[in-house]
């Protein structure tokens, strides 16, 4: 499962724990890179792809830099994530963010007036054009997502945002 998805050296892991000991996310959470790799090696696919901890990795590559067996733990985690998403397992917060991008072209959409007001209060110039101010950007993102199947992965249903409905 993992080799096919891009984790080529996983078989070399001898569970030394260097990855987990190097991980900044693991210092503050129950995230153990070593545990995920071990479960993958044991073939516990469903347990691995449904674990919320799978998404704790920030892809800082500290574990990869320090792994004595060149397992490339970050690449293994990314490969497992790809399998998880392909099989419909993704954190709701990630789905919600992806849906915001689909709707507005921006991960943290605020309307132009709100952005301008915030920037003015901060002593900044008005906003340059971006996805939030251009519905065409969001339309193009949705077109790409539909062609690639990404819309289905995140559970997005084609319903143009209110801003686009007003334009028509």
pLDDT tens digits, one per residue of 7-20: 668 889 999 999 99
Give per-residue pLDDT as tens, 17-52: 999 999 999 888 888 999 999 999 998 999 999 999
Res 58: pLDDT: 93
| Residues 90, 68: Cα–Cα separation, whole Å | 30
- The confidence score (pLDDT) of residue 166 equals 54
In order, the DSSP letters of 40-68 are: HHTT-HHHHHT-GGGG------HHHHH-T
pLDDT of residue 48: 94
pLDDT at 138: 80
User: What's this model's pTM, rounded to 2 decimal places?
Assistant: 0.71
Q: In angstroms, rounded to a whole number, what is the distance separating the alpha carbons of residues 142 and 66?
A: 39
Domain ranges for the chain, please list them.
Answer: 2-86, 92-167
Q: Are 83 and 9 in contact (CB under 8 A)?
A: no
- With a cut of 50, which residues of the chain have pLDDT below it? none
């Amino acid at each position: 499962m993992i080799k096919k998805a891009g984790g080529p050296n996983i078989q070399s892991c001898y569970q030394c724990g260097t990855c987990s000991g190097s991980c900044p996310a693991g210092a503050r959470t129950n995230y153990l890179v070593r545990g995920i790799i071990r479960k993958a090696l044991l073939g516990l696919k469903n347990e691995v792809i449904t674990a919320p901890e799978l998404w704790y990795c920030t892809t800082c590559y500290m574990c990869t830099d320090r792994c004595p067996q060149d397992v490339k733990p970050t690449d293994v985690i990314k490969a497992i994530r790809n399998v998880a998403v392909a099989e419909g397992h993704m954190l709701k917060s990630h789905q919600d963010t992806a849906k915001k991008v689909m709707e507005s072209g921006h991960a943290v959409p605020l309307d132009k007036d709100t952005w301008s007001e915030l920037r003015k209060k901060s002593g900044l110039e008005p906003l340059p054009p971006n996805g939030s101010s251009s519905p065409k950007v969001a339309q193009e993102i949705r077109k790409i997502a539909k062609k690639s199947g990404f819309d289905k992965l995140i559970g997005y249903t084609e319903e143009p945002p209110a801003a686009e409905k007003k334009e028509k």
